[in-house]
Structure 1
Amino acid sequence: MERVYRHRPHEDVLAILLGASCAALGLALYHHAHILIGSTAGIALLVTYVTGWNFGPVFFFVNLPFYWLAWRRIGHHFTLKTFGAVALLSWISWMLPGWMEIGAVEPLFAALAGGSLIGLGVLFLFRHRGSLGGFNILAVYLQDRYGWPAGKVQMGLDGLIMLAAFFVLPVTNVLYSIVGTVVLGAILTINHRPGLYTGVSQS
């Protein structure tokens, strides 16, 4: 009988730290290049571009309505980990401008590198039964309930955000944003399929 490995609490904490940090760096590249991502991070970036508000607090508050679904449909362990990851990413994003200064960044590089960093961050969290909130919650729920690949679900929902981006950003920026979305979705599709990874978090 195959042994199922269960993540220990300190491993989950490390995954949240790594996942939130990778995603925060990727989002910093996106913000600097004025491009977009999907999910609630994309909504928060759109609000930031329109209003000039700081991304971190906006991202935190945009995610609040999704915790009810996570608690009811996926479980309190997932919800608490997701809340921790979102709060940590929001705080890092809020503090990051004081920690480092980003110079010129080509939008294509921001899309490729940023999308990869965010994808890796989300992958860390998915594999430890957490997420970055919003559409990530829906993607994990639909994969667990119906076996739909989380990456493909995420890409479909992200497409709706990209349509809204045409009303806020130049067309070229939206195209670069789509490139980054494809990179992120590909990382999740290849590395987070049902049955591919058997690690289970301890309750």
Structure 2
Amino acid sequence: MDDFGNLFKRHTYITKASTSLIYGILVSIAVNFFWTPGHIYSSGMTGFAQLLNTISSRSLPVTIPTGIGLFILNVPLFLLAWRSIGKEFTAFTFITVLLSSMMIQMLNPVPLTHDPIICAIFGGAVNGFGTGLALRNGISTGGLDILGIVIRKKTGKSIGTINIAFNSIIVIAAGFLYGWPYAFYSVLGLLVNARVIDMTYTRQHQMQVMIITDRPNTVIDSVQNHMRRGITIVNDVEGAYRHESKTILFTVISAFEMSELEEALEESDPNAFASVSDTVKILGRFYEPKP
């Protein structure tokens, strides 16, 4: 059993390291192929690193490259994550940021187009896919992710306000440095980036599930073996067609867990009827895996 656990952990580590490399390649493509040629700024620390690069190239004797600036800006956040979140989380965040910084520096810019709208849309899409992929595999891309986790852990509040304020500074800077149309182009890129992240990283998207079955205990055991979710039981309901006794089970899952739910139902009761609908808001405790 210990050998299986070690093998599983090793497989998880390899998956996370591979995802870190993929993210590094994608963010470097976004920066070097789209954002830099189009004068578009990203969100978070990547955008701040771009801002430092632009300002230093214009006002300082030494230019701070975007890749190097990205790593330097994350150093104090690594220390914060090490103390407040965990060593394994910090290690993989360090690897992800290091690979991203290296790939941004190593990948030679290839300006496919200078059209700011195209650069904003495709840069945001490429980076959003990479970020969503990283989040799906339990990897932080550094920057404001770390602050968000620490603040939520200590206060229970989200970092939404800080995110908005930080990104507003970047957008305003884009307006001053390149002209106000580029500030709006950067906003477009941020919106595309956020939308693609939501499409790729579905763990935060909750859905309500209603299951009608005549094998409730088997279904409950199967579902809870596949995922950590509470289930509410409504006994002694009757079907209107055959007037058979049924049981209704209610639970809430993330969209990320949809395939696990389907597998659990197929194993326990292939004839069960399940209805899945989006939830607008959840009040109370909803389990989310720790990073």
Q: Where on the TM-score scale, by shorter chain, does this alignment land: which range?
A: 0.7 to 0.9
Residue pair 2:175, 2:181 contacting (<8 A) in 1 also: no
**TM superposition shift of 1:124:** 1.9
Match of 2:35? 30
The structure that is helix-richer by fraction is 1
Between the two proteins, the alignment pairs up a number of residues equal to 195
Q: 2:104 aligns with which of 71, 90, 93?
A: 93
Q: Against the structure 1 CA distance between its residues 189 and 103, is the aligned structure 2 distance closer, same or farther, given a 3 Å change threshold?
A: closer
Q: 1:107 aligns with which of 86, 102, 116?
A: 116
Q: Which has the higher contact order (CA 8 A, sep 6+)?
A: 1
Q: Against the structure 1 CA distance between its residues 128 and 151, is the aligned structure 2 distance closer, same or farther, given a 3 Å change threshold?
A: farther
Match of 1:161? 170
Match of 1:172? 181
Residue pair 2:27, 2:127 contacting (<8 A) in 1 also: yes
Match of 1:128? 137
Match of 1:67? 78
TM-score by length of 1: 0.81
1:9 and 2:18 equivalent?
A: no
Q: Against the structure 1 CA distance between its residues 75 and 69, is the aligned structure 2 distance closer, same or farther, given a 3 Å change threshold?
A: same
List per-residue Cα deviations over 1:89-120 (Å, max 9, x = no partner). Answer: 111111111xx632433111111111011111
Residue identity in the other structure for 1:55 = T
TM-score by length of 2: 0.59
- Give secondary structure in 2 for the equivalent of 1:69: helix
Q: 1:43 aligns with which of 37, 41, 48?
A: 48
Residue pair 2:17, 2:95 contacting (<8 A) in 1 also: no
RMSD: 2.9
- Give secondary structure in 1 for the equivalent of 2:176: coil
Mark the runs of 5 or more structure 1 residues left unpaired by the alignment: none
Mark the runs of 5 or more structure 2 residues left unpaired by the alignment: 1-7, 58-62, 206-252, 258-287
Q: C-alpha separation between the residues in 1 aligned to 2:13 and 2:172?
A: 40
Match of 2:23? 19
Q: Against the structure 1 CA distance between its residues 90 and 64, is the aligned structure 2 distance closer, same or farther, given a 3 Å change threshold?
A: same
Match of 1:80? 91
Q: C-alpha separation between the residues in 2 aligned to 1:133 and 1:65?
A: 11
Residue pair 1:43, 1:161 contacting (<8 A) in 2 also: yes
Q: C-alpha separation between the residues in 2 aligned to 1:74 and 1:129?
A: 13
List per-residue Cα deviations over 1:101-155 (Å, max 9, x = no partner). Answer: 324331111111110111111112222222221112223445667484x889755
- Give secondary structure in 1 for the equivalent of 2:45: helix
Larger Rg: 2
Q: How many percent of aligned residue pairs carry the same amino acid?
A: 24
Q: Against the structure 1 CA distance between its residues 89 and 129, is the aligned structure 2 distance closer, same or farther, given a 3 Å change threshold?
A: same
Q: C-alpha separation between the residues in 2 aligned to 1:128 and 1:151?
A: 22
